[in-house]
Amino acid sequence: MYIRVSASALRRVFARDMGPFMLLLGNRINNGATRRCNVDTGRLRAAMYYELTRNVDFDAAVRIGNHTTYARWVHDGTGPHIIRPNPPRKFLRFPGRGGIVFARQVNHPGYAGNPFLLDAAREELARL
């Protein structure tokens, strides 16, 4: 999952190499997204990244993203779904109110999502 902010739309404002500006913008969006993302184990927060890219016309762009496989689900949310154990396991095991709970499946109600990356990008782009 990632977003891409291109310098071509901003070229009219800055008549020079956009690389340093795009890196600064990427850093600020990345920091904002890191502050906003959910924290359970810290893995989602630690997997945030940004990098400068250039196309064949040397158009600078910054790519801000997250390396985890579940980042999109946290960002965009999920609908109701069933959680089952991964084979060869036959039961899910998790802490409950009365101690450890075992179940063959769990009906997850879904998750509304936390658009941490999009919110951070909107905030920083509004400052321009």
Q: In terms of domains, do 30 and 59 share one?
A: yes
pLDDT of residue 61: 87
Q: Which residues contact 109 (CB under 8 A, 6 or more apart)?
A: 80
Q: In terms of domains, do 15 and 60 share one?
A: yes
Segments forming the whole domain that contains residue 89? 78-110
Q: In terms of domains, do 73 and 119 share one?
A: yes
Q: In terms of domains, do 63 and 102 share one?
A: no
Terminal Cα-to-Cα distance of the chain (whole angstroms)? 24
Q: In terms of domains, do 27 and 88 share one?
A: no
Q: In terms of domains, do 121 and 92 share one?
A: no
Q: What's the domain count of the chain?
A: 2
Global pTM exceeds 0.85: no
pLDDT of residue 53: 87
Q: In terms of domains, do 29 and 92 share one?
A: no
Q: In terms of domains, do 72 and 87 share one?
A: no
* Spatial separation of the C-alpha atoms in residues 72 and 68, rounded to whole Å: 9
pLDDT above 60 (res 69) = yes
pLDDT of residue 14: 59
pLDDT of residue 89: 94
| Tokens 């310098």, residue located | 7
